[in-house]
Amino acid sequence: MQALIKHIRITAFAVMAAFLLALIATTPVRGQAATDDDVTVVLHKLVFDDGNLPESTSNDGKSSPFGDAGTPLNDVTFKAYDVTAEFWAQNPKTEAEMEDAQNALAASDTPRQEVATEITSGAGTATFTLPRHSGGQYAVYLFRETAHPSGVSDGQNLVLVLPVSGTTNQVDLYPKDEATVTPVTTGGQQFVKIDADDHSTKLAGAQFVVRSRAGKYLRRSNNQNSWEVISGEITTSYKQAKLLVLTSDSDGQFAINGLRAGQYELVEVKAPDDYVRSSKAVAFTVTPGKFSSATDAIQVANVHETVPPDDDGYPPLPDTGFFGKIVHHWHHFTHHIHHVIKHLLPNTFVGMLPQTGGARAIWLTLLGIFILLSIAITTFHKKSKPHEGE
């Protein structure tokens, strides 16, 4: 019986000892004996849209306190600092005192020597392997965000006090950032439409669209730019695509603004009246914050349309000598006959086949002239001969 009681006492003592050891292992106790084992700390960097940054939430060392919200962010640099001595020097005893000590260290900008540096990658994580103990007690680490991509706010500092309840060799923390809306500095360019031969002549009514280096065309709605891929001929599809159209005024001036820095092209889709549309795009460069003055305006030239033919329907021929003049007068003569016939016989169709060979037509005309002259000369000689029997 005594042996049984002794056995029960030993068992109870062992259970109590195990319970006390477990309790000690999960509570930060100053003066805890150091061991050589390490702990893995994984920082999961998350960024939230502007205005959607969650309130400060405690990490449990295992899962994200934000659920599925937030987007992993890479290229964020974190530095780890050993602040064990500074933390325990404040002699925190309660949970509230420990939180106050953590917040004080997180807000401090005192220069320190880092013990490790990592950069987030992959799924926005930075992994540190750090000693579990420092100076004979559980370690305390400060994590500072020292660099991050543009477009996000400065990150928060975290203070980790080991050990973390419910974890073994890995602690997961979820620092957060907020995306910032950075105003985009834009620029523009002025242009002036001129006559190709007389630069002092300014042309109104020319229309243009803007093309990016990627070959997309500018559309603007409610002051918001978008770039569209246009299939087919731009001169016939720009209206249907509702592209932004620039039109030269009475002084030949027009301009584009609100473009990001970069290289663009000006494409003419409609020429001024009596001018030929230029098929060559005009390249220009936009500098941030710069909008050219009138003196910096790029000149865009057009040439006149082909000179229309004379009233007789034939363009003037160069002076090619005697035969050239005969051909020219012959054109006038046949054209006059054409008008006479049309006047006398208004209901009779008098047409003309398209001329498909200029040189051949000239030779046929010369041949016709030669035949007419031969007939005229022969007739003249017959009339000039004395009649037989007179």
**Average pLDDT over every residue of 23-50:** 64
Residues 226 and 135 in one domain: no
Taking the model in full, what pTM does it have? 0.41
Instruction: Round to whole Å and give the CA distance between 18 and 25.
Output: 11
Mean predicted confidence (pLDDT) in 184-192? 85
Instruction: Report yes or no on 326 lying in a domain.
Output: no
Residues 71, 198, single domain; the answer is no
Q: Which of 55, 43, 48 is nearest to 71 (CA)?
A: 48
The answer on pLDDT for 281 being more than 90 is yes
pLDDT of residue 27: 46
**Is residue 39 pLDDT above 80, yes or no?**
yes
Q: Check whether residue 98 and residue 168 sit in a common domain.
A: yes
> Mean of the pLDDT values across residues 16-25?
50
Nearest to 368 by CA among 338, 339, 319, 333: 333
* Cα–Cα distance measured from residue 142 to residue 126, given in angstroms and rounded to the nearest whole number: 14
Say which residues have a Cβ less than 8 Å from residue 283's Cβ, sequence separation at least 6: 263, 264, 265, 266
- What pLDDT sits at residue 348? 45
Q: Provide the token pair at 27.
A: 């509570």
Last residue of a domain, one of 145, 178, 211: 178
Segment 385-389 shows an average pLDDT of: 54
Is residue 243 predicted with pLDDT exceeding 90? yes
Please tell me whether residues 110 and 152 are part of one structural domain.
yes
Q: Is 66 within 8 Å of 178 (Cβ atoms)?
A: no
Domain count, the chain: 2
Q: What is the pLDDT of residue 32?
A: 41
- pLDDT by residue (tens digit) across 304-338? 776 555 444 445 545 555 555 555 555 556 655 55
Same domain (yes/no): 98, 219: no
Q: Which of 273, 304, 335 is the last residue of a domain?
A: 304
pLDDT band at 232 (very low <50, low <70, confident <90, very high): confident
Write down the pLDDT at residue 326. Answer: 58
390, pLDDT greater than 70: no
Check pLDDT > 80 for residue 388: no
What is the reported pLDDT for 354?
45
Given this model, what pLDDT does residue 200 score? 92
Q: What is the dihedral of CA 15, 18, 19, 25, to 10 degrees?
A: 180
Q: Is residue 373 part of a domain?
A: no
Other residues' Cβ atoms within 10 Å of the Cβ of residue 32: 17
Q: Is residue 4 part of a domain?
A: no
For residue 149, being part of any structural domain is answered with yes
Closest to 40 in 3D by CA, of 152, 134, 137, 164:
164
Cα–Cα dist 262/186, whole Å: 10
What is the C-alpha separation between 230 and 113, in angstroms, rounded?
A: 58
Pairing of strands 46-48, 176-178: parallel
The pLDDT > 70 percentage for the chain reads 63
Residues 167 and 71 in one domain: yes
Per-residue confidence band for 91, with pLDDT thresholds at 50, 70 and 90: confident
Residue 245 domain-assigned? Answer: yes
Helix 322-344 to helix 358-384 angle (10° resolution) is: 80
The span from the CA of 300 to the CA of 259, in Å, is 20
Q: What is the pLDDT of residues 284-302, one digit of tens each?
A: 998 877 776 555 788 998 8
Considering the domain architecture, whether residues 165 and 200 belong to the same structural domain is answered as no
**Could you give the dihedral angle defined by the CA atoms of residues 323, 325, 329 and 331, in that order, rounded to the nearest 10 degrees?**
70
CA distance 26 to 272: 84
- Domain limit, last residue, from 304, 334, 360: 304
| pLDDT value at residue 355 | 44
Q: What value does the mean pLDDT take over residues 19-38? A: 49
- Asked if residue 96 is part of any domain, the answer here is yes
What are 109-145's pLDDT values in tens digits?
888 889 999 999 988 899 999 999 998 888 999 999 8
**Distance (Å, whole) CA 92 – CA 267:** 72
The answer to whether residue 376 sits within a structural domain is no
- pLDDT value, residue 220: 93
Q: Are 136 and 21 in contact (CB under 8 A)?
A: no
- Residues 73, 126, single domain; the answer is yes
Q: What is the mean pLDDT of the chain?
A: 76
Q: Check pLDDT > 70 for residue 350.
A: no
Residues spanned by the domain of 217? 187-304
Q: What is the mean pLDDT of residues 165-189?
A: 74
159 and 265 belong to one structural domain: no
Task: Note whether 87 and 204 are same-domain residues.
Answer: no
Same domain, yes or no, for 167 and 118?
yes
pLDDT above 90 coverage of the chain, percent: 31
- Give pLDDT, residue 189: 92
> What pLDDT is recorded for position 205?
96
Judged against a pLDDT cut of 70, whether residue 63 lies above it is answered with no
User: What CATH number is associated with residue 159?
Assistant: 2.60.40.10
**What H or E segment, with its residue span, contains residue 237?**
helix 234-237
- Classify residue 267: in a domain, yes or no: yes
Same domain for 209 and 100: no
Residue 370 vs residues 42, 281, 331, 360, 365: alpha-carbon distances, Å: 104, 53, 15, 15, 9
